[in-house]
C-alpha cells in the first residue's frame, strides 16, 4: 500500500478496507537491526462528520539483547486508531507515519534474549551464557608478582 490514505469521496456510513505492508529502518538508538516489517489490516469508516481509521498491526524485527548483544527475533502486535473530523481532515492521511510512530511508542526500550541472560564479561567480552572466565574473581590491579615486588620494595 502507498504511504497515503485517500479520504476523498466518502459517502456517509461508507466503510473501506485497508490492508498492506510497510517496511522501514529506524535510527540506531532504537536498537533495531535491519528493517521493521509490518503488515496491517483494518478499515476507515466515515459517519458523515468524522473519519475513524483503525487497524491491527503485526510487526517483525530483530533487536540486540541488551546484555549479551545477541541478535534476537522479535514480534510485536498492536492496534492503531485515529479520528479526524471532516472539517479538519486532509484529503490524504500519512498512514505510514501513523504506523511508524505507533510502533515506536509500543516498542519496549530494551530486550533480553532471556530474563536470566548473564551478559558479556565487562573485561574480556566473553559471552557468559556459553563460557566462563576468571576476570571478575581475580581482577585485582596487581598480580601476585607485583605484590611480592611491592612488599620487597617497602620492606
Ligand atoms: Zn542475552
Ligand atoms: Zn572475562
Q: Distance from the CA of 112 to the center of ligand 1, in angstroms?
A: 5
pLDDT at 11 over 80: yes
Whole-number mean pLDDT of the chain? 90
Q: Distance from the CA of 18 to the center of ligand 1, in angstroms?
A: 38
Local confidence band at 142 (pLDDT 50, 70, 90 cut-offs): low
What residue numbers bound the domain in which 144 lies? 118-155
Local confidence band at 141 (pLDDT 50, 70, 90 cut-offs): low
For residues 62 and 33, membership in a common domain is answered with yes
pTM summary value: 0.78
For residues 82 and 126, membership in a common domain is answered with no
For residues 53 and 80, membership in a common domain is answered with yes
User: Can you tell me the distance from the alpha carbon of 46 to that of 62, in angstroms, rounded to the nearest whole number?
Assistant: 37
Q: For position 31, what pLDDT does the model report?
A: 86
Nearby residues for ligand 2 (ion, Cβ within 5 Å): 121, 123-124, 133, 135
134 φ/ψ angles, rounded to the nearest 5 degrees: -105, 10
Decide if 62 contacts 33 (C-beta within 8 A).
yes
Cα→Cα distances 16→10, 12, 26, 27, 59, Å: 9, 12, 30, 33, 22
Element (H, E) at 71: strand 71-85
User: pLDDT, tens digit, for every residue of 34-83?
Assistant: 999 999 999 999 999 999 999 999 999 999 999 999 999 999 999 999 99
Output the domain CATH number for residue 106: 3.30.450
pLDDT at 143 over 70: no
For residues 81 and 9, membership in a common domain is answered with yes
Characterize the bridge pairing of strands 50-64 and 32-46. Answer: antiparallel
pLDDT at 154 over 70: no
- Percent with pLDDT over 90 in the chain: 76
User: Can you tell me the distance from the alpha carbon of 108 to that of 66, in angstroms, rounded to the nearest whole number?
Assistant: 12
Amino acid at each position: 500500500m502507498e504511504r497515503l490514505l485517500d479520504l476523498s469521496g466518502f459517502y456517509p456510513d461508507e466503510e473501506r478496507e485497508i490492508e498492506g505492508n510497510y517496511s522501514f529502518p529506524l535510527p540506531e538508538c532504537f536498537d533495531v537491526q535491519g528493517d521493521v516489517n509490518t503488515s496491517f489490516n483494518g478499515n476507515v469508516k466515515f459517519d458523515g462528520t468524522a473519519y475513524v481509521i483503525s487497524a491491527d498491526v503485526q510487526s517483525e524485527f530483530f533487536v540486540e539483547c541488551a546484555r549479551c548483544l545477541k541478535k534476537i527475533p522479535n514480534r510485536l502486535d498492536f492496534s492503531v486508531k485515529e479520528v479526524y473530523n471532516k472539517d479538519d481532515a486532509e484529503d490524504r492521511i500519512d498512514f505510514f507515519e501513523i504506523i511508524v510512530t505507533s510502533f515506536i511508542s509500543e516498542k519496549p526500550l530494551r530486550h533480553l534474549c532471556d530474563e536470566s541472560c548473564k551478559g558479556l564479561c565487562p573485561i574480556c567480552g566473553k559471552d557468559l551464557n556459553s563460557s566462563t572466565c576468571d576476570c571478575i574473581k581475580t581482577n585485582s590491579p596487581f598480580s601476585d608478582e607485583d605484590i611480592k615486588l611491592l612488599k620487597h620494595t617497602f620492606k
